[in-house]
Structure 1
């Protein structure tokens, strides 16, 4: 009898028990541990619109899609450019127009390739002027572009404006605003300052105005050193702003990893466009490791509630504040938008000869890759690329198929 009992116990231990353990293990949830995978490094500049990358990290979305991502705070856009080109960063939150500026030799060594994988946001930048000009100018006050800017702002000294990168989005918004006010840009000094340093530089009088992303316009209002002259959504509603820009080799050799990074960021973009999530997003990205700015300022402008400063009151945006997904309308990287920016380079005398617009857009924009990722996630793909569009500020119509004709028509007094 003892022998039979021993035999049954042994049989259970050797055969049945391992089978039960195997069944239970297969039924348990599997944690997607990506810690052993090769690290993907994504940079960001301390701006509100770095939120898709930061929230993808904070919400565990990179891990969900099986990629091991490290996010790193960078000091300047030039720093981002250099690290993407050398491969020290695999990608970054980046000015949409930077790759075209760099490739054409404006913001870097001509021919250097940085690839645009997707757009991160529309809208949400602004031009801030010093409090010295309260009541003297004001798009919001008059409904018109200020006509007394640049040299007319101050008769006692040279007027200085700051932007964040030559040929970058902030640079173009500033120059476009000046041109719309019929002001020659040769009468103003335009300097480059990293976004987080804008407020401090204005406080000590290093410039009279600047164009930058949030929260640094809102912070200037909160500190009483400047006011919001115009928001970029008033210049061009739903303009492209930041993009996920990646290293060329990374895009070619780690295509599946890049697709999974994009999926995580796209999911974060959708999460951010739920207004109920924006307070939490503001609290997270406002922390020291990220933007390091007051959460209430970040939240207010994320919600579209703009205290303009200088007794201009509150401007409420509801369909054209900072948006990250817009049901798929935001994230497609459009070649027509790349051509528009390069046309501005011609208009503002950055380039002496017309670039090969279409070839450059085709080379630097990973549109097919984006469409593949969006399709896999059942995200709508807009069909408006390469169709004409109108800029709200001056009602100028741009046909990406005929940039030379556009340049003949626009006001080019700055040249």
Structure 2
């Protein structure tokens, strides 16, 4: 290899029971780290708060983590502050918003999320998975785009993804936003109906990151580089439809998702009801390497939303962009991509979100354009 041998050869990687942990499952199943001098141990975590805590304590070395969790910890608004690193993006798309069956029916009948919520006669209780995480931000953005103020018009609560369906069935929730397979399972149980896909909120949005503390990267640069190369190999393998079907069987195992394969597989392979989601974008793990580059502009978007909703005070500053650049381990990624023979995508990309607003990386202009905010 053109770089040194890993300083640490056994790496403990945390994950939460979600379908987009598929690359980690593949890396372990096929021992993909061996090529780079690593063995991977997967450590299931009960919640994103547990991922945060075990990362900060050093009980795990890296994690399949919400993109927004990394930024929340870095900024000290998602728990104790620590310098964090996004080593790569593990997937884009793949989440959803599910409402109780009755509330979903009301949305369809009225043609208005706002009117359906008002018909309850109380604030709806909607769950997400971590206060600064991707699911909170997708939920808030979708609500605002539909005329519902996420800080005033709903009650937002945090629940681990595997608990979402039970909480909905027990009447504790009116809806939730998280990853799969928990939406598919809620539909299979008849307790809820998916009303929006996160890919419809921001097409090809960043979802899970391979995250670590920044001091881990500094202490173990060769290990970190080898870990990224390993997960790039895994993302490339998982990205084909045939391989997704195969990995769904392994994800069903009790030590991973503990959910039937026939619940996991359809949405992992991109099968959605075309009548409800004619433009559905499936979860994407590789796409020729376009998925995985850790762009600072992706992370900066989360900072705009924290400022929008009052989690951070004040206007956008140059420090926001500098913070995102420090978190995004782009040089490490480039070196790992060279090892894994993965092409590099463009540094910047633009997207149009569900409210028609374009995100092109100009945080100040973007933030100033929102009418609904704290």
Please state which band the TM-score falls in when normalised by the shorter chain.
over 0.9
SS in 2 for 1:129: strand
1:165 aligns with 2:130: yes
1:392 aligns with 2:353: yes
| Alpha-carbon distance, 1:109 to partner | 2.3
Alpha-carbon distance, 1:199 to partner:
0.7
Instruction: Find 1:220's aligned residue among 178, 183, 186.
Output: 186
Say yes or no: does 1:230 pair with 2:196. Answer: yes
1:135 alignment partner, one of 105, 120, 123: 105
Displacement of 1:99 after TM fit?
A: 1.3
Indicate yes or no: 2:149 matched with 1:176: no
1:344 aligns with 2:305: yes
Match of 1:11 in 2: none
Inter-partner Cα distance in structure 1 for 2:43 and 2:181: 19
Alignment partners' CA distance in 2, 1:222 and 1:296? 10
Give the secondary-structure state (helix, strand or coil) at the position aligned to 2:224: helix
Q: Which runs of 5+ in 2 are unaligned?
A: none
User: Are the counterparts in 2 of residues 275 and 303 from structure 1 also a CA contact under 8 Å?
Assistant: yes
Tell me the distance in 1 between the aligned counterparts of 2:156 and 2:307: 17
CA RMSD, aligned part only? 2.0
Which residue of structure 1 lines up, in the alignment, with residue 52 of structure 2? 81
Give, in whole Å, the separation in 2 of the partners of 1:196 and 1:63: 31
Cα deviations across residues 308-361 of structure 1 (Å, max 9, x unaligned)?
Answer: xxxx9564667x201100111100011111111100111122112246211211
Asked if residue 68 in structure 1 is aligned to residue 39 in structure 2, the reply is yes
What are structure 1's unaligned runs of at least 5 residues? Answer: 1-33
Does the alignment pair 1:55 with 2:30?
no
Distance across 2 between alignment mates of 1:276 and 1:317: 22
Shifted more, 121-130 versus 366-375: the winner is: 366-375
2:9 and 2:223 in contact (8 A); partners too:
no
Q: Taking structure 1 as reference, are residues 236 and 321 closer, same or farther at Cα in structure 2, changes over 3 Å only? A: same
Contact 1:85–1:113 (CA under 8 A) maintained in structure 2: no
Instruction: Give, in angstroms, the shift of residue 148 of structure 1.
Output: 2.6
Q: Secondary structure at the match of 1:148?
A: helix
Task: Classify 1:153/1:369 alpha carbon distance in 2 versus 1 (closer, same or farther; 3 Å).
Answer: farther
TM-score (normalised: structure 2): 0.92
CA distance in 2: counterparts of 1:51 and 1:135, whole angstroms? 32
Show the counterpart of 1:324: 285
Contact 1:65 1:264 in 2 (8 A): yes
Residues 240, 337 of structure 1: 8 Å contact kept: yes
Q: Alignment partner of 1:306: what SS?
A: coil
Give 2:76's match in structure 1, choosing from 105, 114, 130: 105
- The CA distance in 2 between the partners of 1:264 and 1:254, in whole Å, is 15
Q: Who is 2:342 aligned against?
A: 379
